[in-house]
Structure 1
């Protein structure tokens, strides 16, 4: 494993951390357990990350760049505000379903005993998601789908729905998939 390049090792650490978070029992992840899984010393982990919090920050950065990159694509490609909001909601549920370990980060479940700034960052992510829904729903209102003064309330409701589906997925040990019947439920929320 000594031939692994620094950037590759960093990615491997983050991928292993995400995989460990997929454990439905949600045990606390230690750097010792992470190092053992990677078959390296803890010191080797600290050559790439100054702390476990920094490892979680790496996962959060991946989540943010992936999710907001996809939201930007959807916003550019879809000019209908309602369809844009539906596509964003479906993408967020699909992202969680494909990345169960990261869903535990999204819900804050994996961050309970970690540095509080990590949870603050996830709270900011949720606010940014609501803002993205608000933009789509303001567009939908301007297109005559509902009164303008409903856009913010609908965005909040849609964001709460997404967070709730993520939480249910994580808290049930990934038993209840976030996307189950979601298309119909999202359509009901946006009527």
Structure 2
């Protein structure tokens, strides 16, 4: 299961690799830029990442960055796309594996906490912290991603409604309220993680918390 941004594998088959510097394969430099950007966002001080600092970290010119991305906003869109594809890919896996609505909800919540823990820089993107002073459309995009996650939780709880027990007695408004409450729990854990300099892990005692939140 892939939850963290990894660099492309480097091809070492070239016999002259030790003599000449190989050019990056297509897409390799682009992936490297996103990976280093995500790593720089892990700075506990939460300082804004500039393209100059990013270029220096990769040891290329700023002009080289813009050969792969038209703007800094496009770099952040690349990170958001990674988050979106990974999170919803995992949600689909959870839903296919679990028939119980409550098990689906629990799996989604655990995955969201674990994803943040494995990807501290991405947590700052999810919270919008890293998008401050950037293009406004980035905030709108990440809000849409979080709305879709909440909709997935709501759908899981609706399935739980059809499976008997106390959840079957909940009305549609109550299901929406519960889904929003669960999403608030996740956001709270993410904020706590980021504000602690990534020391207070979002998964700490999460089993107990989720048992209470999803109890009938």
Shorter-normalised TM-score: what interval?
A: over 0.9
**Normalising to structure 2: TM-score of the pair?**
0.86
Q: Which residue of 2 aligns with 1:161?
A: 185
**Counterpart selection for 1:31 from 29, 51, 75:** 51
1:177 pairs with 2:201: yes
1:183 Cα offset (Å): 1.3
Structure 1: how far apart are the matches of 2:45 and 2:157?
A: 37
1:148 Cα offset (Å): 3.6
CA contact (8 A) 1:13 1:38 kept: yes
Q: Which runs of 5+ in 1 are unaligned?
A: none
CA contact (8 A) 1:96 1:166 kept: yes
Q: Which residue of 2 aligns with 1:66?
A: 86
1:2 Cα offset (Å): 5.3
Give the alignment of 1:1-191 within 5 angstroms: 3-145=23-165, 146=167, 147-149=169-171, 150-191=174-215
1:175 Cα offset (Å): 1.3
Structure 1: how far apart are the matches of 2:22 and 2:60?
A: 10
Three-state SS of the structure 2 residue aligned to 1:47 is coil
State which structure, 1 or 2, has the greater radius of gyration over its C-alpha atoms. Answer: 2
Structure 1: how far apart are the matches of 2:22 and 2:78?
A: 22
1:99-138 deviation per Cα after TM superposition (whole angstroms, max 9, x unaligned): 0000000000101111011011111111101100000000
Structure 2: how far apart are the matches of 1:20 and 1:2?
A: 25
Structure 2: how far apart are the matches of 1:16 and 1:173?
A: 18
CA contact (8 A) 1:138 1:148 kept: no
Q: Which runs of 5+ in 2 are unaligned?
A: 1-20
Instruction: Report how many aligned residue pairs link the two structures.
Output: 191
- State the superposition RMSD in angstroms: 1.0
Structure 2: how far apart are the matches of 1:2 and 1:122?
A: 36
Dislocated runs of 4+, deviation >6 Å: none
**Normalising to structure 1: TM-score of the pair?**
0.97
1:141 Cα offset (Å): 1.0
Structure 2: how far apart are the matches of 1:115 and 1:141?
A: 40
